[in-house]
Amino acid sequence: MNTRYQCLACGAPIPLDDINVATDVALCRACGRTSAFSLLQAAVDTASSMGEPPRGIRIERDFMGGGTTLTYKRMQPFVWILIPFTLIWSGGSMGGIYGTQILKRAFDWKMSLFGLPFLFGTVVLLTVILLGLFGKRRITLQHGSGSVFHGIGRLGRTRRFTYSRDARVSFRKATMQRNNVPTEEIVVTGAGSTFALCATLPDEPKRFVAGWLQREIARGS
């Protein structure tokens, strides 16, 4: 095995004797920090591809403020399944419940009340489709303060977290499943707090994001 692993914090080489693959832990004896072995492997994979981010990822550094931002924006394939499903399911239910009332110009409060769950489901489906087509994730790190935005344009949800240079980035099983298999989410642990993110990201960009997070946090971004 000729792969060389380096500490994400100080860049010192980590011998195989200091790596425990079973527990996903690697120890750097030069600086005393531990890192997830999966993140070291992700860093090696990234370096082997000339350090270019996966498709859909853009990294920007704020040289004035000292922060850095990673943005992931890529159309999700599942929307091509959701679009026809929504047209059939929502079109049929909304047309049958509310369309008939509009055509007859007669309001039926019982039928309208019955249609509320279908209306709510339609709104949820349309929101998911729009996020899949035009949505983006933006992760910003700046001097111990981080934020994760998920939305379209300026409309969306922002979650915030704090971190220190000794924070550890790792993976854990998420509650979300894909093809009946639990997905992994990225976890930032440190200072008695845990912050999870990116459970819905595809595997390749997810591992790149995890490696980027660990490197930038260790560098004090």
Residues 24 and 19: their CA atoms lie apart, in Å, by 8
Range of the domain at 106: 79-132
Task: Identify the weakest region by mean pLDDT among 90-94, 169-173, 194-198, 217-221.
Answer: 217-221
Residues 139 and 141: their CA atoms lie apart, in Å, by 7
pTM (whole model) above 0.75: no
Counting the structural domains of the chain, the total is 2
pLDDT in tens, 45-91: 655 543 578 889 999 988 777 789 999 999 888 899 999 999 999 88
Residues 121 and 208 in one domain: no
Compute the residue count for the chain. Answer: 221
Residue 198: HSE in the Cβ half-sphere, 13 Å Cα cutoff: 30
Residues 199 and 215 in one domain: yes
Q: Which helix (H) or strand (E) segment is 125 a member of?
A: helix 116-134
Residues 26 and 82: their CA atoms lie apart, in Å, by 42
pLDDT tier at 207, thresholds 50, 70, 90: confident
Q: Which pLDDT score, from 0 to 100, does residue 1 have? A: 45
Residues 170 and 105 in one domain: no
Residues 6+ apart with CB under 8 A from 39: 8, 169, 170, 210, 211, 214
Residues 89 and 60 in one domain: no
Residues 166 and 220: their CA atoms lie apart, in Å, by 9
Residues 102 and 145 in one domain: no
At which residue do the structure tokens 């349309």 appear? 126
Residues 83 and 65 in one domain: no
Residues 145 and 36 in one domain: yes
Residues 144 and 210 in one domain: yes
> Do residues 127 and 145 touch, judged by C-beta distance below 8 A?
no
Domain finish residue from 88, 110, 132:
132
Residues 188 and 84 in one domain: no
Residues 128 and 159 in one domain: no
pLDDT in tens, 141-194: 998 899 999 999 989 999 999 988 878 888 888 888 777 888 888 888 876 788
Residues 186 and 114 in one domain: no
Residues 102 and 207 in one domain: no
